[in-house]
Structure 1
């Protein structure tokens, strides 16, 4: 009876330890797979549209609207972009060790959206941006105007730190590695994932740049902010369908443990019998849950 129950649970539940939002094993037919992916792909598309909608034309904004020199504008933009590529290191550790991918994405998306709103306000409210040039005289931006602008930009960089390393992995979590059919679908998911990234980048680099240059920067930043709000709504609306992986501890700690063990056992002879090697066998959470029930 136990073996029949185990076989039945392996067919009904995922075999990779996935759980739902409440921490219970998930049914294959009700969660994950392609039914959950549109919400994740939509989130990534909107986020990339928002990012490239800022980054593509930001040097022009700093030079033409904040009246910075080209060198100063380029330096500020590259510093901000460098920060955007460093913060994912923090976000990845936070997601893997403590909060999990879902909550890291949720919190980071909210921070990102607040940053987008601050950026939009800095480009829309007259008191938050320098006056227009009169002839060859261009009044410089005040300290307060810079503070609002860079507050928004670096909130966005912080938000990217939690989204960029987690969205693709969270999408992969929706496919059960122990199921051969779902494992094949996971490869297809990544094809679509990068397709939606490029769709977002294409729209930003063409349509949004034209809006910024011809219809105004307030609208040009406001549209990406709207898309970021849409990304948050899309992501949360898929919550009942998602599969979640529990945080597995800090990868930095595990890496250090491997290095220490390697040095300590440098001269250790590997046994011929592979059964003598140390292995960690992960139990199937769904099976354990069914047997306990």
Structure 2
């Protein structure tokens, strides 16, 4: 990708060339790496737009429902607390238990790759919109037939699922852009993940505005009106579900094309695990490690290296 940038480090021998016209190989490779993140970055816009639904349409749905518990009325915006609570619980469970299980299965220090973790978040976003569509369809049916609002707690599934999705997606997104950015551009990598939130909010407003205008043409009743009981918010959620499916397909394509930047881990735990595996391979005659200096030993003899910080060198394969 971006191979045309290689020309920037080719010395043409021109007498007019100066330092601004010739780049080092490192500068070119770092630029190519930061540009290769853009397709993944673009793919995260739609999920970020879905997050904006928590404080907009999800909350507005709550105002049309029965919010009373005894003499107390629950603020519809308070349901967002379930999203935050679910996010915290999911993150703790994932990091404490699920990652350890996945490490044993995949031999990956992270359990699964960051892009795989992001993709799971994408899939859950599709499920969220399908669930929101079904719940809104049920809410409209009850409101029109019985003229009695349903309980606000029927919205809990979409708030809880949003928390699960964000625990998997947001953490992996921040870690991915920071980890894959070149060493001299780590702050730019972090900004990639942070800007998606703002872009998602603008995109959410843009989609809402466009859909409202298109569906209200020729005097038709729009999908999104001030009175949700006269609207078709369920159609809008179905539209968002389809949009998420298309975005997921795009994400899968760009993920397949993406080449991971070589990771440099300072984790002693990972280093010890790799060295232990290589020690076992040596004892069984399967020599597939690198050592600092050529040593004279035979496969099957005692392990010649102590596991110290000075002589621990792990193969990149």
**TM-score of the aligned structures, taking structure 2 as reference length:** 0.55
Residues 97 and 247, structure 1, Cα contact 8 Å, conserved in 2? no
Q: How does 1:1-293 map to 2 (within 5 A)?
A: 33-64=33-64, 66-69=65-68, 70-71=73-74, 73-91=76-94, 94=98, 97-124=110-137, 126=138, 130-132=142-144, 138-141=148-151, 146=154, 149-177=155-183, 183-184=184-185, 186-205=186-205, 207-208=207-208, 212-213=224-225, 216-239=232-255, 240-243=257-260, 279=309, 283=313, 285-286=315-316, 289=317
Distance 2:54 2:311 in 1: 47
Q: 1:165 to 1:193 in 2, by over 3 A?
A: closer
Q: 1:75 to 1:191 in 2, by over 3 A?
A: closer
Q: Secondary structure at the match of 1:54?
A: coil
Deviations, residues 261-280 of structure 1 (Å, cap 9, x unaligned):
xxxxxxxxxxxxxxxxx747
The unaligned stretches of length 5 or more in structure 1 are: 1-27, 178-182, 255-277
Q: 1:175 to 1:248 in 2, by over 3 A?
A: closer
Q: 1:52 to 1:285 in 2, by over 3 A?
A: farther
Q: Secondary structure at the match of 1:122?
A: helix
| 1:16 corresponds to | none
Whose relative contact order is higher, 1 or 2, with alpha carbons under 8 Å and at least 6 apart? 1
CA RMSD of aligned residues (A): 4.1
Residues 101 and 167, structure 1, Cα contact 8 Å, conserved in 2? yes
Q: 1:140 to 1:35 in 2, by over 3 A?
A: same
Q: 1:190 to 1:247 in 2, by over 3 A?
A: closer
Deviations, residues 196-220 of structure 1 (Å, cap 9, x unaligned):
3201112325653876445532134
Distance 1:281 1:235 in 2: 41
Once the two structures are TM-superposed, the CA of residue 162 in structure 1 deviates from its matched residue by: 0.8
Once the two structures are TM-superposed, the CA of residue 284 in structure 1 deviates from its matched residue by: 6.8
Structure 1 segments (4+ residues) deviating >6 Å: 244-251
Residues 120 and 221, structure 1, Cα contact 8 Å, conserved in 2? yes
Distance 2:196 2:190 in 1: 10
Distance 1:103 1:150 in 2: 27
Deviations, residues 247-269 of structure 1 (Å, cap 9, x unaligned):
97999x99xxxxxxxxxxxxxxx
Once the two structures are TM-superposed, the CA of residue 35 in structure 1 deviates from its matched residue by: 4.2
Once the two structures are TM-superposed, the CA of residue 187 in structure 1 deviates from its matched residue by: 2.6
Distance 2:165 2:224 in 1: 23
Q: Aligned pair count?
A: 222
**TM-score of the aligned structures, taking structure 1 as reference length:** 0.59
